[in-house]
Chains A and B, each alone.
Chain A
Amino acid sequence: SQQGEEDPQALSIQEGENATMNCSYKTSINNLQWYRQNSGRGLVHLILIRSNEREKHSGRLRVTLDTSKKSSSLLITASRAADTASYFCATGSNFGNEKLTFGTGTRLTIIP
């Protein structure tokens, strides 16, 4: 089963609004990553947050991590049409573990 579960599964907002996506996971992690996938393309790494961090920013992206609740959120501010894509969270466990476990994704549509 998937470690990460994104919520909502699909989200449609007007251009310029903020988009928030959530990810929940089940086991202990040492980091959580967010990826974007444009339709029919490979995934692109967006941002990584370590388990000892609570918030991280990168441009219009803001990621939070609450390890007590085993959840993370991705906020995209001032959305643009080009942000239309699927967004996935992925969790890494202990150091030395070579695998990431990906969630099921949120399909974000920005309406011009």
Chain B
Amino acid sequence: SQTIHQWPATLVQPVGSPLSLECTVEGTSNPNLYWYRQAAGRGLQLLFYSVGIGQISSEVPQNLSASRPQDRQFILSSKKLLLSDSGFYLCARADRDNSYNEQFFGPGTRLTVL
């Protein structure tokens, strides 16, 4: 079966601290991978997506960055967190050969910046 892992599940960090969120995918090769952020009670904002190792597309200018060091690993990072970085971060994958880009989501990481 195809599974998406995200960790940590919850995180509380002080303003100005660094961030590293990890997403790993099992059971599929060459997936498209995505990072979304969801503010409380709101829709999803696409932050980054990747179509392959080392290939990152950024959707929104911000103090976050993403990397894909391995085919099934997608990392979201920040050098210095802002209060506005608080939110629910979701990783998703889509199969490369799926023309309609149906996406499957991980369980999410809830980040609170204080």
B101 close to A (CB within 8 Å)? yes
Query: 1/0 contact trace for B18-50 toward A, CB 8 Å?
Result: 000000000000001000100001111010010
Q: For chain A, residues 32 to 65, give those with C-beta under 8 angstroms from any C-beta of chain B.
A: 33, 40-45, 48, 50
- Tell me whether B103 and A100 are in contact (CB under 8 A): yes
- Tell me whether A99 and B44 are in contact (CB under 8 A): no
A25 close to B (CB within 8 Å)? no
The CA-CA distance from A104 to B103 in the complex, in Å, is 17
- Classify chain A's interface size: 20 to 34
Q: For chain A, residues 7 to 50, give those with C-beta under 8 angstroms from any C-beta of chain B.
A: 30-31, 33, 40-45, 48, 50
- Classify chain B's interface size: 20 to 34
Nearest chain A residue, comparing its CB with the CB of B90:
A42
B76 close to A (CB within 8 Å)? no
Q: Which residues of B contact A99 (CB under 8 A)?
A: 46, 49, 59, 101
Nearest chain A residue, comparing its CB with the CB of B46:
A99
Top-8 shortest CB links A-B: A42-B105, A104-B43, A102-B44, A31-B100, A43-B105, A92-B101, A42-B107, A98-B32
Residues of chain A having any CB pair with chain B under 8 Å: 2, 30-31, 33, 40-45, 48, 50, 88, 90, 92, 95, 97-105, 107
